[in-house]
């Protein structure tokens, strides 16, 4: 019996979802805010402050990537203290973010599809809502 030809795999165009990107940033903000007492941008060090001078949310020390590399011992101690002080609030915020984005995506499904179809797809820039 002759071998069948294999179908070529269809590849979906690589696009970036702005809504999923916003959801990921919200989760990162909760995690970095609770553990490092900083923003994701401030933790990496792109805000110019290097993790210092920012308002603290739970009264703990603010930790940045720069301070983590410079003094790992005290930075990990500060991160442990920050986590213990805010893990319950972090859990509630993470659950709230998940529920909010889930319902928002369901409620706005048709308008989002309309924007993606009529505005984003013709532009061809690889971005969708």
Which pLDDT value is given to residue 47? 65
Q: How confident is the model at residue 24 (pLDDT cuts 50, 70, 90)?
A: very high
Cα–Cα dist 42/39, whole Å: 5
Cα angle, residue 7 at apex, residues 5 and 13 outer, rounded to 5°: 160
DSSP H or E stretch at residue 92:
helix 72-107
The number of distinct structural domains making up the chain is 1
Question: Average pLDDT over the chain, rounded to whole?
Answer: 86
- How much is the pLDDT for 50? 45
Give the mean model confidence (pLDDT) for residues 24-43.
94
Whether the predicted pLDDT of 44 surpasses 60: yes
Task: Give the pTM.
Answer: 0.78
Residues 53-74 have a mean pLDDT of 76
Q: Which residues contact 7 (CB under 8 A, 6 or more apart)?
A: none
Residues of the domain holding 35 = 16-39+58-128
First to last CA, the chain: 49
Tell me: the pLDDT tens digits for 88-109? 999 999 999 999 999 999 999 9
Mean pLDDT, range 54-83, rounded to an integer:
82
Please give the residue that has the higher pLDDT: either 59 or 75.
Answer: 75
| Residue 45 included in any domain | no
Backbone phi, psi, residue 52, to 5°: -110, 155
Band of residue 35 on the pLDDT scale cut at 50, 70, 90: very high
Structure tokens at 30: 């909760």
**Gap between the Cα atoms of 114 and 129, Å rounded:** 10
Q: Is residue 89 situated within a structural domain?
A: yes
Q: Is residue 47 part of a domain?
A: no
Question: Long-range pairs for 2-7 at CB < 8 Å and ≥24 separation?
Answer: none
């Amino acid at each position: 019996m002759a071998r069948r030809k294999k179908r070529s795999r269809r590849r979906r165009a690589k696009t970036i979802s702005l809504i999923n990107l916003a959801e990921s940033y919200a989760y990162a903000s909760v995690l970095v805010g609770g553990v490092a007492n900083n923003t994701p941008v401030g933790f990496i060090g792109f805000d110019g402050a290097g993790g210092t001078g920012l308002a603290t949310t739970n009264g703990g020390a603010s930790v940045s990537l720069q301070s983590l590399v410079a003094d790992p011992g005290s930075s990990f101690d500060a991160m442990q203290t920050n986590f213990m002080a805010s893990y319950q609030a972090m859990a509630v915020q993470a659950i709230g973010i998940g529920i909010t984005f889930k319902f928002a995506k369901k409620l706005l499904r048709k308008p989002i599809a309309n924007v993606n179809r009529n505005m984003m797809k013709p532009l061809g820039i690889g971005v969708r809502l």
